[in-house]
Amino acid sequence: MGGRKMKSKSSHQFFWDATWNNIVTYCTHGITNAVAEGINSKNRSIQRRTGVYRNFENFKKAVLFYRSGLDPYPQ
């Protein structure tokens, strides 16, 4: 067949498309997902610091403990 091959998007093109969409969304609505990203970052930090949990309930307790501001080693 004489059809043209479709060129696939590179990973850089996907990155710039997503970035451009985020900029347009911010300018249109004035909101970002920065708070959600910050919470996720802190939870990942707790996960790295404490190790692997066998179930979600123990991980949830660790997140609630560390995020509440309690001292893990009281004097």
9 or 61: which carries more pLDDT confidence?
A: 61
In the chain, pLDDT over 90 holds for what percent of residues?
Answer: 5
Number of Cα atoms under 13 Å in the Cβ half of residue 53 = 15
Report yes or no: 66 and 46 within 8 Å, Cβ to Cβ. yes
pLDDT of amino acid 43: 87
pLDDT of amino acid 57: 86
Per residue in 44-65, pLDDT tens?
888 888 777 788 888 888 888 8
Judge whether 65 lies within some domain. yes
pLDDT tops 60 at residue 21 = yes
Judge whether 4 lies within some domain. no
59: domain range?
35-70
Judge whether 18 lies within some domain. no
Judge whether 9 lies within some domain. no
Judge whether 49 lies within some domain. yes
